Structure 1
């Protein structure tokens, strides 16, 4: 029954991940868009920590964790976001609902496990309008963008010793980003506005390797250490450009004349990334930890060579978080079996606009609700944060994210003792 359910959810997720509009941020204009968090709701509720190996939860951030799974684990996550976009002069609201990930982890033996999954890698979604008057000439511009990249991964993990595990993911990244700009000169006798549409198709392979080490301190406390490294990789892109003069009939655009141009192929570099984390806890009771991520400076893609107010710097992220379970094996109190999670995150995103670094701060809370099926559970989370600034004519995003996931566990590949 559970296998049929997983297959059905996989088909539904695959159809929806290609069609959803999963961003509403002007900062997604740059590069290949906003990079999505690669982690589960459980990780995200703890500030994004990816330190813990777990026997019933998948950890998508470190492939070395897969070998800790005792049961076949299927997980699916989704987020509802409400964002207030604020400038010195105006304020607007945006909401969206997204499917964040789907993954399946399968223990092959006591030491080896495999994992496969799909999740968004980056997302683009914005609509910006601007009017500038210079030398008695009024210029109206409108920018729109949508799309993003999807990542499909397959990984393997091997437990070298009871304390040390290694793992690796191979990832295929692909997707399409479409941007549109319209320019009009209302104050001069130019009959039609001009429109430019760029459609870029991206594809490429990347890798992620990880290690996890755990040991006992004073024969009581569990100490965990985690490390991952994603080497720099390349995305190939093919871009087609459509230039046109247009007119409007209500809200619809009518083409007066157009030219299709093949811009050609180019490569986009995905920068290398290193993550280190460590924490202390008491198994199935509590845990506190910290994690640091460093990513090399990004690069502007070929579609943005004319952007002069934007640059990239190295990205840094610090996460603090943990969990607490009052009594994991309680028989008379359901609330004692709930896992409570909390975390803090500070991220220097690496994007610099008008000499202002775009930073991201957030606080998160969550809980894991046990279900009555092989340690399966429902995970809920809430994240409150702020990204960007109103300085230098920029946009400050105040966001609320509500996320939910389900983790289903079952025994697969069990040999029958009796026929």
Structure 2
């Protein structure tokens, strides 16, 4: 039954993940877009904490944790995002529903392997402005697309205390942005269309360590490293002379191809260090610091010069609590209660102002009776950006739901 669910969800995910518009943020115009993937739903519920090993949940950020799997695990997650935008002169709202990841992990003795698909970054914005002048000017900016990752990784248990792991990702995607402008006193307007096809590879490496301090209390720590890599962009640009029709649509009167150079965008190197303490299957609390060399980032086209990038740091605190893991009489005692905090400067600098992002998370792991599977739910409230110098402040409320199916696969039947 679980295998049938896995196949059905995999087909659904493959049909929708590449076409979805995963963000509504104007900040997604820069670099490779808005980095959407922040871990599986159970990890996001703890602010994005990845330090704790888990025998039934896939850890999609540290491949070393794959060696901790005891059962074959299938994970899929999605998010409903509700965002309010505020600047010095205007405000707005947007809603998005996205699929966030699909992955499978398989234990093989001391080895654990995993593979899957992750929509990593997303571009999706629509902005309109109208100047209040004698000859009003209408401008409209829009963009769609993003970067997806297909990954495969493995973790190996060197000792009872130490795991190592590595994964490789193939990144691919397309990005399209449009800038339209016209004067009310002129019959035709102009529209610039930019297209980029992206592809490239990158690697992740991980270590995880755990040791008992007392009979009940355990110490956990982890390190991950992602070396710098590159995305190759095949760029093209066209300029359209357009006419607005009475139906509200546009008609292209003339199109001209513009030569633009193909470019490369560097994916920055990243270090992450985490540590935590707790009692297995009862409670855990930990913290994590991630250092990202975002200063090597750039924009898709060389003529985008109103933004710079800086190195960034992410801080995470979080944990979980289970009242009674083995309770047979009380369902609510077996629920995993999670919470976490996250703060980071995103690495994007506009108008000499660093764009920061802060959020708080509360989540629940709901066990499915009679199985090792569960449904994870996360509620996230946060703020990104600022209204400084007419920039945009985003206040968002996200609801994420993840399905984690765990079972013993590849067992030879004794009876048919």
Does the alignment reach a TM-score above 0.5? yes
Confirm or deny that 1:198 pairs with 2:194.
yes
Q: Distance in 1 between matches of 2:402 and 2:104?
A: 13
Tell me the C-alpha RMSD between the 2 structures. 1.6
Q: Structure 2: where are the runs of 5+ without partners?
A: none
Match of 2:165 in 1: 167
Q: Distance in 1 between matches of 2:347 and 2:67?
A: 33
Q: CA deviation at 1:139?
A: 3.9
Q: Distance in 2 between matches of 1:7 and 1:256?
A: 47
Q: Distance in 2 between matches of 1:203 and 1:50?
A: 27
Match of 2:243 in 1: 247
| 8 A Cα contact 2:317 2:341, kept in partner | yes
Q: Distance in 1 between matches of 2:56 and 2:73?
A: 7
Match of 1:122 in 2: 121
* Correspondence 1:396-415 to 2 at 5 A: 396-415=393-412
Q: CA deviation at 1:9?
A: 1.1
Confirm or deny that 1:222 pairs with 2:221.
no
Q: CA deviation at 1:308?
A: 3.4
1:361-384 per-residue CA deviation (whole Å, 9 max, x = no partner) reads 111000101102431001111000
| Secondary structure in 2 matching 1:42 | helix
Compared with structure 1, are the counterparts of its residues 373 and 171 closer, same or farther at alpha carbon in structure 2 (3 Å cutoff)? Answer: farther
* Correspondence 1:353-364 to 2 at 5 A: 353-364=350-361
| Secondary structure in 2 matching 1:7 | helix
Match of 1:58 in 2: 58
| 8 A Cα contact 1:238 1:263, kept in partner | no
Match of 1:107 in 2: 107
TM-score normalized with structure 1 length: 0.95
Q: Distance in 2 between matches of 1:357 and 1:336?
A: 43
1:94-113 per-residue CA deviation (whole Å, 9 max, x = no partner) reads 0010000011000111x101
Q: CA deviation at 1:141?
A: 2.2
Match of 1:15 in 2: 15
* Correspondence 1:249-398 to 2 at 5 A: 249=245, 250-296=247-293, 297-303=295-301, 305-398=302-395
Q: CA deviation at 1:415?
A: 4.2
1:34-63 per-residue CA deviation (whole Å, 9 max, x = no partner) reads 112241000000011011110011110100
Q: Distance in 1 between matches of 2:312 and 2:250?
A: 40
| Secondary structure in 1 matching 2:80 | strand
| 8 A Cα contact 1:46 1:341, kept in partner | yes
What is the aligned length?
414
Q: Distance in 2 between matches of 1:185 and 1:307?
A: 23
Q: Distance in 2 between matches of 1:108 and 1:45?
A: 28
| Secondary structure in 1 matching 2:48 | coil
1:204-245 per-residue CA deviation (whole Å, 9 max, x = no partner) reads 001101000000113321110011001000111111211110
Q: Distance in 1 between matches of 2:371 and 2:155?
A: 22
Q: Structure 1: where are the runs of 5+ without partners?
A: none
Q: Distance in 2 between matches of 1:128 and 1:300?
A: 22
Q: Distance in 1 between matches of 2:285 and 2:102?
A: 27
| Secondary structure in 1 matching 2:260 | strand
Q: Distance in 2 between matches of 1:327 and 1:158?
A: 30
Q: Distance in 2 between matches of 1:2 and 1:331?
A: 23
| Secondary structure in 2 matching 1:4 | helix
Match of 2:3 in 1: 3
Q: CA deviation at 1:138?
A: 4.8
